[in-house]
Chain A
């Protein structure tokens, strides 16, 4: 996880813990999960871009 993602995760977790309503807490925690998914997808896409750009046969 990048530093930025770590920071965002902490912000969301703190905000979630401050919500009195169960359904409100659920919303922010689900967003936290989605942000983790975004982070993973970002990594994978970045990896694929790097992999496809690295073409020694075209040097």
Chain B
């Protein structure tokens, strides 16, 4: 799967959350681009990048219940009517659109009656409408609330949750999570120092065994349910 990450942030170098996410990027199959660092957009190139990607991620801090102005500029310049739907070819059809949004307020603020009074889904509805118009598939949003307050264990978890959001097939089920780790494990074991590789392989074998056990149990259960129906 090819993922394109488009980051909109007016002061990227000063943003600890954006720098953290950049350092967390998966090493393969991900293209990362900062919108504000381009003086003007090479529309043909931008559109070509969109055509090549299977999953497109828009990543930004929430400013006044919307993305920063740089993303809107990109939308206005790159997502031309003809490109998105005008000629009825829908080049973005069936691609996934995911939103990574950072907020200064906590999760509980984003609900009716909360400090912000609206949900993130409501705030992001103009982007969801664009996705619908382009016949794209809208992914559940990946919000990062109050990055500055996260403790180390939460930051460690964020690294992998973010990587999975960028590259793991949907839906985010146990089955898909297991498959993602199965795919990643060989390279992670290879890069371990030689004296740790045996442990790495043992862990991998045990993990795969657990996966098979769960699958076998699920099969047994399906069989029992089938018999109960008879």
Q: Which residues of chain A come closer than 8 Å to B210, judged between CB atoms?
A: 35, 38-39, 42
- B118 close to chain A: CB less than 8 A: no
Task: Please determine whether A30 and B221 come into contact, CB atoms closer than 8 angstroms.
Answer: no
Q: A36 to nearest B CB, angstroms?
A: 10
Interface majority SS (helix, strand, loop, mixed), chain B: helix
C-alpha gap A27/B181 in the complex (Å): 9
Q: B169 to nearest A CB, angstroms?
A: 16
- B184 close to chain A: CB less than 8 A: yes
Interface majority SS (helix, strand, loop, mixed), chain A: helix
- B41 close to chain A: CB less than 8 A: no
Residue tally, chain B, CB below 8 Å to A? 35
Task: Please determine whether B224 and A52 come into contact, CB atoms closer than 8 angstroms.
Answer: yes
Residue tally, chain A, CB below 8 Å to B? 31
Given A22-B156, A30-B160, A31-B181, A8:B220 Cβ within 8 A: no
Q: Which residues of chain A come closer than 8 Å to B156, judged between CB atoms?
A: 22, 25-26, 29-30
Which B173-204 residues sit within 8 Å CB-CB of chain A? 174, 177-178, 181, 184-185, 188, 191-192, 196, 199-200, 202-203
Complex A-B: 22 CB contacts under 8 Å: A8-B206, A15-B192, A22-B159, A23-B23, A26-B157, A27-B188, A29-B153, A29-B157, A30-B160, A30-B181, A31-B181, A31-B185, A31-B203, A31-B207, A38-B210, A38-B211, A45-B217, A46-B217, A48-B221, A49-B217, A49-B220, A52-B228
Which residues of chain A have a CB within 8 Å of any CB of chain B? 4, 8, 11-12, 14-15, 18, 22-31, 33-35, 37-39, 41-42, 45-46, 48-49, 52-53
